[in-house]
Amino acid sequence: MTDTQERTLVIVKPDGVQRGLIGEVVSRFERRGFKIAGLKLIWIDEALANEHYKDHIGKPFFPGLVKFITSSPVVVIAVQGKDVVKLVRNMMGALKPEEAAPGSIRGDLALSKSFNVVHGSDSPENGLREVSLYFTDKELFDYPRDVENWLKHE
């Protein structure tokens, strides 16, 4: 990974998996030009959910959040690119679908604040922390792509 690139974690949440939206979500990031550095289908257990959402422990919505994220398999994706955290969050759209812009993942696909299809890291630091919760170094790949010459940020 170059010094100008970041990694972020995207989770296709249980509602996205159950509704068959995995390919739709992944393809949006690929079409944008981001590199998929890691991708897998997993079932998050309660311990991992607690670690992932540890900043929310004690908040009224926390038990429901853990119950939801552990209710079905999810797809975890390590997405890599320049300014990827900020750009992925823009692509996801606002947390509440009624506030999410048309064309964003949540604006197009989410049904409610709770069933909003995707999670994305909120900062470069959390991107690294969250990616490391779900992927070992051996599961992450930094590989050259010829298309990168056409995706330069100026």
**H helix or E strand, kind and range, residue 102:** none
Q: Which residues make beta-bridge pairs with 119?
A: 11
Helices (H), the chain: 14-18, 22-32, 46-52, 62-69, 84-92, 105-109, 124-134
**Tokens at 145, concatenated:** 């792509």
Q: Which of 41, 14, 127 is nearest to 78 (CA)?
A: 127
Catalytic pick from 52, 56, 119, 153? 119
The Cα–Cα gap between 69 and 47 comes to 11
Q: Is 52 a catalytic residue?
A: no
Q: Where in the sequence numbering do the catalytic residues fall?
A: 119
